[in-house]
Structure 1
Amino acid sequence: MPLFFEETAWRFWDQSISAKHRSALESFAADDTLCELVGSGKSAPIVRTWVHDDTVVLGIQDHRLPHIERGMEVLKEHGFTPIVRNSGGLAVVLDAGVLNISLVLSEKDNAIDISVGYDLMLNLVRELFPEATIEAYEIVGSYCPGSYDLSINGRKFAGISQRRIRRGIAVQVYLCVEGSGSERANIIRDFYNAGLQGEKTKFAYPEIKPETMASLSELLERQMTVQEVVLDLHALMGAPAPMPLQPDETDLYAFYLNRVVERNQKMLEHPLE
């Protein structure tokens, strides 16, 4: 069991099945809600697992592409719904084979450096897949590249981000567990090609090279499922009783959901479907 699971009691909320057919905007609202609850001391630290079908989550810079409308049309042609997230980073793919894990921590009493949050998630992923040599450095050619890209033999399967609200921190990772990493990268490559159409921009958008990305099933050469990883994570935590949002927490969630939906509508200029 990772040291940070041993030292404190964690709350567990599994949405790897229940959220699949719902908008990914709901997950970003959920993490904002948990940040406030944990940051204020109204909840224990939380591990939340979540999966959403066929969504591309765009960053703020993506929305500034010179031909963003055409880029989003291409995503829809691939069968994916575009949304804009309320944190940094660039476009990432969510689908039934991608497991997202959020660690929601409090810095009410002690500040937590950004690097510490990243390292906690890195250590957790290493505990989940002890048979692999997992490294953290930027994988050039991947989508949403960053210094905490997680890779095996130079091919990226995960990326880590952070969201901070009201003394709460949500450290989020997406794990490409099933399917083809390069096929997901192809979708993002098509998006950028359509969104840029060869134009030069001040911001340097990534030049996607699909061969730099893979799923864990591909990298570890064994078929695994999202649900197997969720069960392994739950066991790693000591199998705590699940605790989703409680009745007295739902009003706060409704506030954050409304804010996330309104912001997304404004950015994309169309209603949430």
Structure 2
Amino acid sequence: MQQTHTLLQTGAYRFIDQSSLGPNFNALQSFATDDALAISVGEGSSPTAARLWVHHDTIVLGIPDARLPYIEEGVEYLESEGYKVIVRNSGGLAVVLDEGVLNLSLIFPNQEGVNIHEGYDAMVSFIHLLFEDLTTDIEAYEITRSYCPGTYDLSIDGKKFAGISQRRVKNGSAVQIYLDVTGSGAERAQLLKSFYEVSKKGEETRFTYPDIDPGVMASMNELLGTSMTVADVRDRVLRKLYDLSGHIVTDPLEGKEMENFEKRFEQMIKRNAKALENLK
């Protein structure tokens, strides 16, 4: 039995499922939604929230990626492969999102004495609980030759299937994880390997970009020999949230939250335009 992190032990969860909104659901809207929820959770007007989201054929770049020496050619390459490109407002580097990748945000209040690592640890704990009937082999450590490598990469037998980032807004924290559920982890990694080759062309750079080995990445189905769908994992998340709290609310964004969303969405659009302004 996996241990449950204290941040997960709450009297209610607010569950927002945006995993089936389709290809027109823009990733910028996702990050603005998490910002709005973090504000509400942080001020106590919303319980701890969990949001599920899927974006079709989207590459989410980190801010350092936008500074690659030949980023214009890199973005053109990704677009030629059929991907939309945005720059996110949380930490990290480029990741691949498609219909086989389920994203989960857990939005916690920033409690006194709780540091940034607690949010990451809580997400790791949740994923352990989520799949405890399938495996006890999920480990959290940096897979250095993956894309967007970080201390809280999740892997099985050295192959990464998930990465975690965190964004703090006012008194709330949005901890975001992507889960490669279906498809080929190596093919996603090869796409970004090619992107970095095109965008860097072997030049020396101040920032150290990953030297990606597609062989160190895989989907959960590949690793576990399962045939789970994104919808299956969505159902698991909902059941686990109920197990942890005993109470689920599904209130959509409204009132002041929608105002905060609109404001954050506009900021995201402007920030992306600035980050990518030299690419056209």
Normalising to structure 1: TM-score of the pair?
0.95
Instruction: State whether structure 2 residue 131 is matched by structure 1 residue 123.
Output: no
Aligned match of 1:182: 186
Mapped contact 2:8–2:126 kept (Cα < 8 A): no
- Match of 2:20, SS state, is coil
Q: AA paired with 1:195?
A: S
Distance 1:224 1:116 in 2: 29
Task: Classify the secondary structure of the residue corresponding to 1:13.
Answer: strand
8 Å CA contact 2:140, 2:153 repeated in 1 = yes
Provide Cα deviations, 1:82-125, integer angstroms capped at 9, x if missing partner: 10001211000110000010010112x52421111111000111
- Counterpart of 2:77? 74
> Residue 29 of structure 2 corresponds to which residue in structure 1?
26
For the pair 1:256 / 2:264, whether they are aligned, the reply is yes
Number of residue-to-residue matches in the alignment: 270
In 1, the alpha carbon distance for the partners of 2:269 and 2:38 equals 18
| Contact kept? 2:10, 2:48, Cα under 8 Å | no
Matched, 1:140 2:144: yes
**Equivalent residues in 2 for 1:139-178 (5 A)?**
139-178=143-182
Partners of 2:278 and 2:34 lie apart in 1 by 23
Partner-residue secondary structure (3-state), 1:99: strand
Deviates further, 33-42 or 12-21: 12-21
Q: Match of 2:114?
A: 112
Q: Matched residues in 2 for 1:20 and 1:115: separation? A: 33
Match runs of 1:4-19 below 5 Å: 4-18=7-21
Sequence identity, in percent?
49
State whether residues 41 and 48 of structure 2, in contact with CA within 8 Å, keep that contact through their aligned partners in structure 1.
Answer: yes
Quote the offset at 1:21 in angstroms: 2.6
Q: Which residue in the other structure is 1:202 paired with?
A: 206
Q: State the distance in 2 between where 1:264 and 1:27 align.
A: 14
* Runs of 5+ unmatched residues, structure 1: none
Give the root-mean-square deviation of aligned CA atoms: 1.7
> Contact 1:71 / 1:191 at 8 angstroms: preserved in 2?
yes
Counterparts of 1:39 and 1:19, CA distance in 2: 29
SS of the residue aligned with 1:243?
Answer: coil
- Check whether the contact 1:163–1:170 (CA below 8 A) recurs between aligned residues: yes
Select which of 246, 249, 255 maps to 2:254.
246
Shift of 1:240: 2.0
Q: How does 1:203-218 map to 2 (within 5 A)?
A: 203-218=207-222
The verdict on how the C-alpha distance between 1:31 and 1:19 changes in structure 2, with shifts beyond 3 A counting, is: farther
The letter for the 2-side match of 1:170 is: A
1:51 maps to 2:59: no
CA contact (8 A) 1:14 1:244 kept: no
Compute the displacement of 1:20 (Å): 4.3
Cα distance between partner residues in 2 of 1:5 and 1:146:
22
TM-score under structure 2 normalisation?
A: 0.92
Corresponding residue for residue 232 of structure 1? 236
Q: Is the 8 A contact 2:52 2:104 kept in 1?
A: yes
Q: 1:58 to 1:95 in 2, by over 3 A?
A: same
- Partners of 2:8 and 2:277 in 1: CA distance: 42
Give the distance between the partners of 1:105 and 1:260, measured in 2 at CA: 22
Instruction: Give secondary structure in 2 for the equivalent of 1:42.
Output: coil
1:248 shift after superposition:
4.1
Distance 1:43 1:20, change over 3 A: farther
